[in-house]
Amino acid sequence: MESSLLRLSDNFVVIEDSLGERGRLYHVPSLTQVNSVSPLMLKTIKLLMQGQRPKKVPVYAAQKCDIFLETEILDCISDMFRVGILVEGQPKEYCYGMRKSYTKPPLDMISLELTTRCNLKCIHCYVPPIAGAKSKELSNEEIKRLIDDAVELGVWRFSLTGGEIFLRDDILDILHYLRFKGMVIDIFTNATLIDDAMIGELAKLKLRQLATTITGLGPTHDRFQGTKGAYNKVCRTIAKLKEKGIALRINVILHKSNRNEFYELIQIIRRLGFSWRISNIMSLGRGKESNYLNLPEQQFADMLASAYEAKITSNIVIQGRHPVEQIDNDGPIAPSCGVGSFRMFISAVGETGLCEVLSHSTNPKFGSGNIRDRSIKEIWEYGEGFNRYRNFQCNRIDRCQHASLCRGGCRARAYIEGGSVEEPDKIACFVLPRIKHDSVPR
């Protein structure tokens, strides 16, 4: 190992702070921060990525390298190699590697809505329609310029959503450009327009995750999607994606029409081995007209809690952008989704917001300007919406005994259902007391 070239594994990324003194180490598949990176560790990793062999690193890592420091550095390299943070070999074409953050606070993630157009008519969809949408969308050139600017600022994750992203003729070009720039990519799709050729291309791209939605079995799903045959299409696509080794997450909308199918859906989940997210209907867009189908909050919460307690989550991640709905296999409920702290949403026409729901189209106060008019650095650091809601949180979190697990729940749902981003997320408030906290590792 000491004579070999080493590089960061594709499963890890290091984000260096703006001063170049410290960093953050992330595990890419789980999007978990593994460790804070000390100045010496940061310098060690950078030297390895520049092609220095391990046994030579101590000489360059410290100006005065005594035997104790040399041992410490080599032990650090050995430990990182042992746990898989470092691997042998030159960096691959698609390697996340290192990023340096040039914003305060650091901007890690951009959620980019590529289009509002869609081939389905889902009754729960919260995306507002835009007249003449295609002509108003960000162009390929504008998107690539955005990606370039994001790289310069230290952004390392892009989440692509719609509408239906595969309605864009240039979707593959955009995806390849993101990977060429070393971005971690998640995509959200209804999975009905993905043919075999596209599946082959997606497999080459090494996406972190592809997410799609199931709203029930067979006819139930088709009714919700407003399209006959949608269920069969998505099931065929899911099977083919799995064959190609593409990481999938299935979003389940739990409602009155499919509650009797819930446990059958769970069996399918366990058999396929995918991660899943369970959520309710958001009362926004077309969801306003169908939110009467939502289960009572207590019943919805009971089903989530029972899924956890019964260990049905062996193959399920009840998660996503709503932390209280994310329960790992014997793990803690997920941390905050990053709204107001490290995440920016950009709409199909360039308007910025906190997230897909807390956006300019929902309420202009969540907006901070358009990327066609202002740089993303200026928007992130000085935008009205971001400064107004920077690090906002549930107004009960300081006196809630479940706060360390809940982390405030979903701020978007709190706003839609409670009228304020600082209101409690009622689903979170119902779920957490039903979970045995001593069985959840912290």
Residue 47 lies in a domain: yes
The pLDDT score that the predictor gives to residue 94 is: 61
Structurally, the chain folds into a number of domains equal to 1
Comparison of pLDDT for 220 and 56, the residue scoring more: 220
Confidence of residue 131 (pLDDT cuts 50, 70, 90): low
What's the rounded Cα separation, in Å, for the pair 184 and 175? Answer: 10
Residue % of the chain over a pLDDT of 90: 48
pTM of the model: 0.87
Average pLDDT over residues 281-301: 88
Question: What's the number of CA atoms in the CB half-sphere (13 Å) around residue 134?
Answer: 6
Q: Is the pLDDT of residue 315 over 60?
A: no
Confidence of residue 129 (pLDDT cuts 50, 70, 90): confident
Average pLDDT over residues 146-156: 95
| Token pair listed for 441 | 């590792």
Over the chain, what is the mean pLDDT?
Answer: 84
Comparison of pLDDT for 434 and 186, the residue scoring more: 186
- Supply the range of the domain harboring residue 88: 4-98
Residue 114 lies in a domain: no
Contact 358/352 with Cβ under 8 angstroms?
Answer: no
How many whole angstroms from its chain centre is CA 314?
Answer: 21
Residue 232 lies in a domain: no
What's the rounded Cα separation, in Å, for the pair 129 and 348? Answer: 11
Comparison of pLDDT for 189 and 279, the residue scoring more: 189
Residue 404 lies in a domain: no
CA angle 282, 225, 216 (to 5 degrees): 80
Gyration radius (Cα) of the chain, Å: 22
> Which of 7-16, 129-138, 172-181, 362-371 comes out lowest in average pLDDT?
129-138
Which amino acid type is present at position 97? G
Average pLDDT over residues 160-179: 97
Confidence of residue 300 (pLDDT cuts 50, 70, 90): confident
Residue 324 lies in a domain: no
Residue 53 lies in a domain: yes
Residue % of the chain over a pLDDT of 70: 87
Q: Where are the beta strands (DSSP E) in 229-361?
A: 248-253, 275-279, 343-346, 352-353
Q: Is the pLDDT of residue 331 over 80?
A: no
The pLDDT score that the predictor gives to residue 159 is: 97
Comparison of pLDDT for 386 and 433, the residue scoring more: 386
Q: Is the pLDDT of residue 266 over 80?
A: no
Residue 31 lies in a domain: yes
Residue 105 lies in a domain: no
Q: Is the pLDDT of residue 130 over 80?
A: no
| Per-residue three-class SS string for 2-67 | CCCCEEECCCEEEEECCCCCCEEEEECCCCEEEEEECHHHHHHHHHHHCCCCHHHHHHHHCCCCCH
Scan for tokens 């901007």, then name that residue: 107
> Which of 204-218, 258-272, 323-337 comes out lowest in average pLDDT?
323-337
Comparison of pLDDT for 269 and 328, the residue scoring more: 269
The pLDDT score that the predictor gives to residue 438 is: 40
> Which of 52-61, 127-136, 297-306, 429-438 comes out lowest in average pLDDT?
429-438
Q: pLDDT by residue (tens digit) across 73-119?
A: 888 899 899 999 999 987 665 667 788 899 988 999 999 999 999 99
> Which of 133-147, 151-165, 274-288 comes out lowest in average pLDDT?
274-288
Average pLDDT over residues 220-237: 93
* DSSP single-letter state for residue 436: -
Average pLDDT over residues 245-272: 87
